[in-house]
C-alpha cells in the first residue's frame, strides 16, 4: 500500500501539471487503500477533478464531507463498501460504478439514487428513470402516508419549546419508521431510512410554516390593506354568430390511422430565387405601418385570413425533399443571391508553439507557465470579444429560402404552415462536434434538420397523418455495455409532437426515430425540455394540461422508459412554456390563450402531483379590454436574461420587457392570485390581428426578434436600448426591421410576404431562421459573418 501524497496524486493524475487544482482525471486503483488512507486535506484541493478511479481497493466507505464539485464519474468497484451515505456530498456525480462490492444491497442502490440527485448511470446502466421515480413518485407516496400519520396521531405542542420538539421528533420519527409501509419487503431498509429523513423534514416544515403564518398575519395588520392588487377581469357574455372566432384557435385535421415513423436524409430541397434588387438586403429603418387595421382591433370580427393549424387535410403519401433547377444555374445553386456575398473564415485562436521545441531550450516549468499565460490571454481576448459582440448590433442578410415541408414534394405547395424551429444545442463538454449550424423545423407531417450555411436538408422524418406543431432539442446520456471508462456518452435528441397527441423521440445523428409515447388524447401545442434536467420534458396540450415527463436516457439498443412526474392544470390551451433560468427546477412560466401563469414545479415536496397555478401575471394592456377586445392571449414568451422576460399579447402592438425576480417577489392577491408584471420597457411592434406570431431571444447577443404578418422581422438590440430610452414610458422603436426579401418562383412571380410564425437564433447569432405560414424556411446570416 502506497501512502497518498501530493507527489503521488500528481503522478497518477492527468493532465500533467504541478498543481492539484488542475487535475481532471485521477487513477488510484489497486493500491490497497483503506478509507483512512485517503487524506481529506489533499483530496479537497482537487476542485477540477472530473473522473476518479478507486477500484480494486479495500474501502468500506467514502471520505465524509469531501467537496468535489466538478466530479462526474466515480469508480468504486471491487471494494468492501458498506456505508453508501458517505457519498452524499458528491452532488454533481452523474456516473457511478459499484460492481463487486459484496455488502451492497438493493436498498443501498436505492439510497444512492436518492442521495445523488444527478446520478444517471449506475454500474454501466441508465437508471435515470428509476432514480427519478424513487426521488419523486415513490417519495410522494411516502409523504402522503407520513402526513396522514401526523394528522391522525400527532400535533404541535403549544407553546413550542426546544425540549418538547426534540421529544416529539424522536417519537414521530420512530412511529413513522414502524408504521409507514410501502413497496416490496426487499427494500424495507431503504423505506425506513427514507421515511426517517422525510418525517424529520415534514416536522421541520410544520414549525417553519407556523412561523411564516404568524409573520404574515402581523404584516397584514400593519399594512392595514394599503397594498392594492389588480382586480380580476370581468368576463362578458357575448351573443355572436356560431361561425365567428372569439379567440384564435388552431383548427385540427381529421384523425388518420396511426402510421409508422419514416426517416430519410435529404440532400436538397426546393429553393426560391431572391429578387436581385437593393430591397433584398436588410434595411435599417424605422417601422412603417402600411394598410394597418384600426388601432384597437375588434375581437368579434370574423378573420378568414387567420392561420389555422392544419386547416387542410394532409396527404399521406411519403415525400422527399427535391431540388428545382433554375435556367442557367446548376441544381446546387438554385437559390442565388445576385448581390455579391463575400465569406471570411471564422476567427480561430493562434496556435501556441510546440512544447517539444521549447523544452529543448527552456525548463518544463517555464513552458507550463507560458502556456498557462497564453491560455489566460486567449480566454481574456475571447471574453472581451464576446463583450464587444454583445454591445454591437448585428446586421443580417438573407441567405436561403427553402420549401422542405411540401405535400407530395410539390413545388406548388405554398399552403403548408410551419410552426416551430430550434437550433441544435451546443454539445456538452464531453460531447464532440459542432451543432450551432443545424436547425430543426416542423410543419405538416414532417420534421427537417437543415444545415443553415449550406442551405441543405440533412435529415427528414415523415409521419403520414400527423401534423407537427412543436419540437424541442435536448442532450441525454446513451449508455453502453461493457466496462470501458466511456460507458456513457452524450447524444442530442429531438422530441416532436402535434395533432395526434404523441411525442416522437428521434436521434438525428444516427437517423433513428427510436420511440414514441402518448402525452395526451388531444393535440399537443408545445414541447419544452428543462435546461437543467435535460431528461425532463414538458408537454402542453389542448386538454388544458401541462405534463412533466422523465424520458430518461437510452442504451445502445435504444431502450428507454418514460415516467409521468407532474400534471399542471391550466384554464386554456398552453402556447409557450418557459422554465426560468434562475430556478428551472422550482418554477415554470406558461403563456396561455387566457393569460400568463406561474407554477411551482418542485418535486419531492408536500405538494400533490396535480397542481394549479401559483400566480397569474397581468399586464397594463388588460385595463383597455372591453366586450370586443381581449388581450389576455400570450402568444410570445422568452427569457432574454436570467431576469428579463420578453412577452407579447395577441392584438397588442407592443412587446413587454419585465423583471421576473421583482414580479415573483410580490405577494399575490389572496383570491385571484394575480400580480402585476414589473415592466422595464415596451418595444414597438406591428399592429395585426394574426395570432401565434411567436418571438424569440438570443441572450448571448442581447437580441429579441419577432416576425409579423407581412414577412418582416422586427429586431431589438436590448443593450443598445438600455443605453437610450429604457423606462421612459414610451414604446421603443426596433433596432432594425428586416424587410421580406421577396423571393421569385419560376413561372409564379414574386412571393408576397407571409406571416412569420416562428423564429430561432443560434447562441452567437450567426444565423437566424424564420418559418412562414406558406411553407417557406428563410435563413438569414449576420453580415459580419458573410461580408
DSSP label at residue 133: I
Q: Looking at 322-331, 475-484, 701-710, which range is the least confident one?
A: 322-331
**More confidently predicted of 1 and 18:** 18
CB-based contact 732:720 (threshold 8 Å): no
**8 Å CB contact between 656 and 646:** yes
Confidence of residue 672 (pLDDT cuts 50, 70, 90): confident
CA 176 centroid distance within chain: 39
Whether the predicted pLDDT of 345 surpasses 60: no
Higher pLDDT, 480 or 33: 33
**DSSP helix/strand/coil, 417:** coil
Quick check: helix, strand or coil at residue 771? strand
| Length of the chain measured in residues | 787
Number of H helices, E strands in the chain: 12, 42
Q: How far apart are CA 57 and CA 2, in angstroms?
A: 12
Q: How confident is the model at residue 271 (pLDDT cuts 50, 70, 90)?
A: low
Q: Within a 10 A sphere around the Cβ of 178, how many other Cβ atoms?
A: 10
Mean pLDDT of all residues in 238-267: 39
pLDDT band at 213 (very low <50, low <70, confident <90, very high): low
81 CA to centre of own chain: 38
Percentage of the chain modeled with pLDDT above 70: 72
The per-residue pLDDT for range 374-400, each reduced to its tens digit, is 666 666 665 555 555 556 888 999 999
The cell numbers describing 768, all together, are 437566424
More confident residue, 224 or 729: 729
**Average pLDDT over every residue of 484-503:** 84
Per-residue pLDDT at 187 exceeds 50: yes
H helix or E strand, kind and range, residue 107: helix 106-115
Rounded distance, CA 614 to CA 572, Å? Answer: 16
Position 223 pLDDT exceeds 90: no
| 3-class DSSP string for 332-395 | HHCCCCCCCCCCCCCCCCCCCCCHHHHHCCCCHHHHHHHHHHHHHHHHHHHHHHHHHHHHCCCC
DSSP element (H, E) containing 179:
helix 162-179
Burial grade of 368 (CB within 10 A; 0-12, 13-18, 19 or more): middle
Q: How much is the pLDDT for 729?
A: 66
Torsion angle in degrees (nearest 10) through CA of 752, 758, 762, 765: 50
pLDDT in tens, 503-545: 999 999 988 999 999 999 999 999 999 988 999 999 999 999 9
Q: Which three cell numbers stand for residue 80?
A: 468492501
Q: Tally Cβ neighbours within 10 Å of residue 436.
A: 18
- Asked whether residue 280 carries a pLDDT value surpassing 70, the answer given is no
What whole-number distance in Å separates Cα of residue 472 and Cα of residue 457?
18
How far is residue 86 from each of residues 12, 89, 113, 272, measured CA to CA in Å? Answer: 24, 7, 13, 63
Strand 512-518 and strand 273-274: pairing?
unpaired
d(CA 232, CA 468): 35
Q: What is the pLDDT of residue 309?
A: 44
The sign of the CA dihedral 519, 524, 528, 530 is negative
Cβ pair 584, 577 in contact under 8 A: no
Q: Is the pLDDT of residue 227 over 50?
A: no
Cβ–Cβ under 8 Å, residues 760 and 768: yes
Exposed/middle/buried for 246, CB within 10 Å: 0-12, 13-18, 19+?
A: exposed
Question: Half-sphere exposure (CA, 13 Å, Cβ side) for 593?
Answer: 17
DSSP state letter for 136: I
Which of 257, 130, 150, 121 has its CA nearest to residue 190? 130
DSSP H or E run through 461? strand 456-462
Q: Is the pLDDT of residue 358 over 90?
A: no
- Give the pLDDT score at 469: 96
For the cut 50, the answer to whether the pLDDT of residue 352 exceeds it is: no
Q: Copy the grid coordinates of residue 568.
A: 399542471
**Cα–Cα distance for residue pair 48/676, rounded to 1 Å:** 44
CA 635 – CA 14 distance, rounded (Å): 51
Where residue 8 falls among pLDDT bands split at 50, 70, 90?
A: very high
CA 67 to chain centre: 28
- Contact status, residue 215 vs residue 209, Cβ threshold 8 Å: no
Read off the pLDDT band of 350 (50, 70, 90): very low
Helices (H), ranges, 19-138? 40-43, 106-115, 128-132
- Could you give the count of Cα atoms lying within 13 Å of 417 in the half-sphere of its Cβ? 26
How confident is the model over 590-602, as a mean pLDDT?
Answer: 94
Rounded to the nearest integer, the mean pLDDT of the chain is 78
The yes-or-no verdict on residue 616 having pLDDT over 60 is yes
What is the SS3 assignment for 147? helix
Q: What is the mean pLDDT of residues 255-284?
A: 43
266-287 mean pLDDT: 44
Q: Is the pLDDT of residue 231 over 70?
A: no
The three grid cell numbers given for residue 412, joined into one nine-digit string: 406548388
DSSP conformation class of 83: B
pLDDT tens for each residue of 169-181: 999 999 999 999 8
pLDDT tops 70 at residue 305 = no
Which range is least confidently modeled, 34-38, 203-207, 363-367, 625-629? 363-367
Helix/strand/coil for 101: coil
Cis peptide before 603 (omega within 30 of 0): no
Amino acid at each position: 500500500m502506497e501512502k497518498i501524497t501530493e507527489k503521488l496524486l500528481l503522478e497518477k493524475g492527468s493532465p500533467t501539471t504541478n498543481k492539484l487544482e488542475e487535475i481532471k482525471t485521477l487513477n488510484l486503483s489497486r493500491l490497497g487503500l483503506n478509507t483512512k488512507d485517503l487524506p481529506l486535506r489533499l483530496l479537497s484541493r482537487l476542485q477540477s477533478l472530473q473522473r476518479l478511479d478507486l477500484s480494486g481497493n479495500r474501502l468500506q466507505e467514502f471520505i465524509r464531507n469531501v467537496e468535489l464539485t466538478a466530479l462526474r464519474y466515480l469508480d468504486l468497484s471491487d471494494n468492501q463498501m458498506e456505508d453508501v451515505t458517505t457519498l452524499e456530498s458528491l452532488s454533481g456525480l452523474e456516473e457511478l460504478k459499484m460492481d463487486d462490492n459484496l455488502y451492497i444491497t438493493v436498498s443501498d442502490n436505492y439510497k444512492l439514487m436518492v442521495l445523488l440527485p444527478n446520478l444517471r448511470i449506475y454500474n454501466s446502466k441508465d437508471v435515470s428513470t428509476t432514480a427519478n421515480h424513487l426521488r419523486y413518485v415513490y417519495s410522494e407516496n411516502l409523504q402522503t402516508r407520513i402526513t396522514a400519520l401526523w394528522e391522525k396521531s400527532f400535533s404541535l405542542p403549544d407553546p413550542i419549546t426546544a425540549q418538547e420538539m426534540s421529544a416529539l421528533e424522536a417519537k414521530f420519527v420512530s412511529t413513522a419508521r414502524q408504521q409507514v409501509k410501502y413497496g416490496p419487503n426487499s427494500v424495507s431498509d431503504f423505506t425506513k431510512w427514507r421515511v426517517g429523513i422525510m418525517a424529520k423534514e415534514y416536522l421541520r416544515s410544520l414549525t417553519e410554516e407556523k412561523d411564516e403564518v404568524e409573520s404574515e398575519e402581523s404584516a397584514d395588520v400593519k399594512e392595514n390593506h394599503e397594498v392594492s392588487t389588480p382586480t380580476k377581469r370581468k368576463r362578458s357574455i357575448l351573443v355572436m354568430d356560431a361561425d365567428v372566432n372569439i379567440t384564435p384557435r388552431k383548427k385540427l385535421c381529421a384523425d388518420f390511422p396511426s402510421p409508422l415513423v419514416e426517416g430519410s436524409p435529404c440532400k436538397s430541397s426546393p429553393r426560391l430565387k431572391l429578387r436581385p434588387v437593393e430591397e433584398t438586403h436588410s434595411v435599417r429603418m424605422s417601422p412603417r405601418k402600411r394598410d394597418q387595421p384600426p388601432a384597437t382591433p375588434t375581437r368579434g370580427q370574423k378573420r378568414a385570413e387567420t392561420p389555422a393549424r392544419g386547416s387542410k387535410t394532409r396527404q399521406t403519401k411519403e415525400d422527399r425533399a427535391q431540388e428545382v433547377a433554375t435556367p442557367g444555374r446548376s441544381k446546387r445553386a438554385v437559390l442565388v443571391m445576385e448581390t455579391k456575398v463575400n465569406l471570411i473564415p471564422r476567427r480561430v485562436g493562434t496556435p501556441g508553439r510546440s512544447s517539444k521545441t521549447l523544452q529543448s531550450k527552456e525548463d518544463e516549468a517555464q513552458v507550463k507557465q507560458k502556456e498557462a499565460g497564453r491560455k489566460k490571454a486567449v480566454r481574456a481576448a475571447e471574453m472581451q470579444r464576446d463583450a464587444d459582440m454583445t454591445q454591437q448590433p448585428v446586421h443580417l442578410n438573407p441567405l436561403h429560402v427553402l420549401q422542405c415541408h411540401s405535400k407530395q414534394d410539390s413545388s406548388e405547395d405554398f399552403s403548408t404552415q410551419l410552426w416551430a424551429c430550434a437550433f441544435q444545442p451546443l454539445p456538452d463538454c464531453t460531447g464532440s462536434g459542432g451543432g450551432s449550424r443545424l436547425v430543426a423545423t416542423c410543419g405538416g407531417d414532417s420534421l427537417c434538420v437543415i444545415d443553415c450555411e449550406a442551405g441543405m436538408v440533412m435529415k427528414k422524418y415523415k409521419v403520414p397523418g400527423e401534423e407537427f406543431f412543436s419540437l424541442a432539442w435536448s442532450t441525454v446520456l446513451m449508455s453502453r455495455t461493457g466496462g470501458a471508462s466511456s460507458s456513457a456518452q452524450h447524444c442530442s435528441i429531438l422530441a416532436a409532437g402535434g395533432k395526434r397527441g404523441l411525442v416522437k423521440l428521434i436521434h438525428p445523428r444516427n437517423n433513428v426515430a427510436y420511440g414514441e409515447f402518448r402525452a395526451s388524447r388531444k393535440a399537443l401545442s408545445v414541447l419544452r425540455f428543462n435546461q437543467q434536467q435535460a431528461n425532463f420534458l414538458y408537454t402542453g396540450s389542448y386538454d388544458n394540461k401541462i405534463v412533466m415527463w422523465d424520458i430518461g436516457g437510452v442504451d445502445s439498443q435504444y431502450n428507454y422508459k418514460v415516467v409521468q412526474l407532474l400534471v399542471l392544470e391550466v384554464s386554456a390551451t398552453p402556447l409557450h412554456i418557459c422554465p426560468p433560468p434562475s430556478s428551472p427546477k422550482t418554477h415554470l412560466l406558461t403563456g396561455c390563450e387566457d393569460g400568463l401563469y406561474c407554477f411551482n414545479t418542485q418535486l419531492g415536496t408536500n405538494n400533490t402531483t396535480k397542481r394549479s397555478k401559483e400566480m397569474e401575471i397581468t399586464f397594463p394592456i388588460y385595463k383597455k379590454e372591453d366586450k370586443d377586445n381581449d388581450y389576455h392571449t400570450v402568444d410570445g414568451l422568452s427569457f432574454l436574461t436570467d431576469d428579463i422576460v420578453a412577452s407579447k399579447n395577441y392584438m397588442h402592438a407592443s412587446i413587454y420587457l419585465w423583471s421576473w425576480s421583482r414580479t415573483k417577489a410580490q405577494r399575490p392577491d389572496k383570491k385571484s392570485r394575480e400580480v402585476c408584471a414589473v415592466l422595464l420597457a415596451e418595444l414597438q411592434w406591428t399592429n395585426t390581428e394574426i395570432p401565434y406570431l411567436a418571438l424569440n431571444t438570443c441572450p448571448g447577443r442581447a437580441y429579441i426578434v419577432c416576425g409579423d404578418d407581412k414577412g418582416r422581422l422586427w429586431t431589438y438590440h436590448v443593450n443598445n436600448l438600455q443605453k437610450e430610452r429604457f423606462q421612459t414610458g414610451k414604446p421603443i422603436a426596433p433596432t432594425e426591421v428586416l424587410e421580406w426579401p421577396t423571393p421569385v418562383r419560376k413561372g409564379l412571380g414574386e412571393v408576397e410576404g407571409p406571416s412569420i410564425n416562428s423564429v430561432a437564433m443560434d447562441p452567437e447569432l450567426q444565423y437566424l431562421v424564420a418559418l412562414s405560414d406558406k411553407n417557406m424556411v428563410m435563413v438569414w446570416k449576420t453580415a459580419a459573418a458573410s461580408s
